[in-house]
Amino acid sequence: MPYNLLQGKKGIIFGALNDQSIAWKIAEKCYEEGAQIVLTNAPIAMRMGEINKLAERCGNAPVIAADVTNNEDLKNLLQKSMEHFGGPVDFILHSVGMSMNMRKNNSYTDLNYDFTHKTLDISALSLHRILQLAFHMDAISEWGSVIALTYIAAQRVFPDYNEMADAKALLESITRSFGYQYALKKKVRINTVSQSPTRTTAGSGVKGFEGFIRYAEKMSPLGNASAEDCANYCVTLFSDLTKMVTMQNLFHDGGFSFTGVSREVIEQMEK
């Protein structure tokens, strides 16, 4: 049952690739809660055509291609979105990540640095690019809300998360640093949501993902948080009910982050 928490709000959603994407569920939920949205993804991802189905489901939302490593693309996206909405946006979701090292099975001790630069650019610096452009173009309204999705490998070692762990640490740092600046300028709040492992195209690219998702399920007293749960949480963070929350890394993981060990894991070890 919708609560109309985002009635009258306008936002940009990055990163809906297919109906498994966390951004896909967030876009649907934002629309259901009364928001108008613009969808965006990399030009290459657009070719799959899936995003047009989502656009239809979200009141024929405009779809504007933008590679997050390209300033001109991002400037065009912000400009077109403001023209469409007739003013600045109220929220932005950054749900973007990519590692060529993972795709090529390069381990953390054998990184290809060209790939690593790409990972950092796409998965972390892109948040700075979006915020810096929005800051100077005045593209986010007062008390607006920005969320980037992250993972706990930014704080603790998950060996097969590879250089994405470093990218997430940078993403969370940019969230704090820009969160400070944007709060002073326009009371815009910026947070990361640290989500449970979730079966998506990006998620399944992590080596040993199936074993890991089962381990996380056993280590989380509430179980793993689904993409739909994440969408509900993000709606609250885009809404006016969480106005004073900024510069935070917010764990959305069923309690995983603060569980040292669970009974189920101990029982498993005693077998």
Ligand X SMILES: NC(=O)c1ccc[n+]([C@@H]2O[C@H](COP(=O)([O-])OP(=O)(O)OC[C@H]3O[C@@H](n4cnc5c(N)ncnc54)[C@H](O)[C@@H]3O)[C@@H](O)[C@H]2O)c1
Q: Is 168 annotated as a binding residue?
A: yes
Distance of CA 145 to the CA centre of its chain: 13
Q: How far is CA 195 from CA 19, 125, 181, in A?
A: 17, 20, 25
- 194: tokens are 């640290």
Q: Please say which residue, 156 or 263, places its beta carbon nearer to ligand X.
A: 156
Instruction: Rule CB under 6 A: say whether 254 interacts with ligand X.
Output: no
Using a 10 angstrom Cβ sphere, with 0-12 exposed, 13-18 middle and 19 or more buried, the burial of residue 206 is buried
- 19: tokens are 């109906």
Which positions from 150 to 169 touch ligand X by CB under 6 A, shown as an x/- string? xx------------------
- 202: tokens are 């990006």
Binding to ligand X in span 57-86, by CB under 6 A: 67-69
Q: Please say which residue, 14 or 182, places its beta carbon nearer to ligand X.
A: 14
Among 4, 107, 201, 268, binds ligand X (CB under 6 A): 201
Instruction: Rule CB under 6 A: say whether 228 interacts with ligand X.
Output: no
Using a 10 angstrom Cβ sphere, with 0-12 exposed, 13-18 middle and 19 or more buried, the burial of residue 127 is buried
Query: Of residues 3, 31, 108, 151, which has the active-site annotation?
Result: 151
CA–CA dist 267, 271 (Å, integer): 7
Q: How far is the CB of 193 from ligand X (least distance, A)?
A: 8
* Residue count (the chain): 271
Q: Please say which residue, 175 or 200, places its beta carbon nearer to ligand X.
A: 200
Q: How far is CA 191 from CA 37, 181, 242, 246, in A?
A: 19, 13, 11, 6
- 189: tokens are 């709040």
Question: Is position 151 annotated as part of the catalytic site?
Answer: yes
Task: With beta carbons less than 8 A apart as the criterion, state whether 10 and 89 touch.
Answer: yes
Instruction: Rule CB under 6 A: say whether 235 interacts with ligand X.
Output: no
- Contact stretch for ligand X (CB under 6 A) within 92-100, 129-137, 215-223, 234-242: 92-100
Q: How far is the CB of 176 from ligand X (least distance, A)?
A: 17
Q: Please say which residue, 95 or 145, places its beta carbon nearer to ligand X.
A: 95
- The residues binding ligand X (CB under 6 A) are 15, 17, 21-23, 41-42, 45, 67-69, 95-98, 122, 149-151, 195, 197-198, 200-203
Binding site, annotated residues for NAD(+): 15, 21-22, 67-68, 96, 168
Catalytic site positions: 151, 161
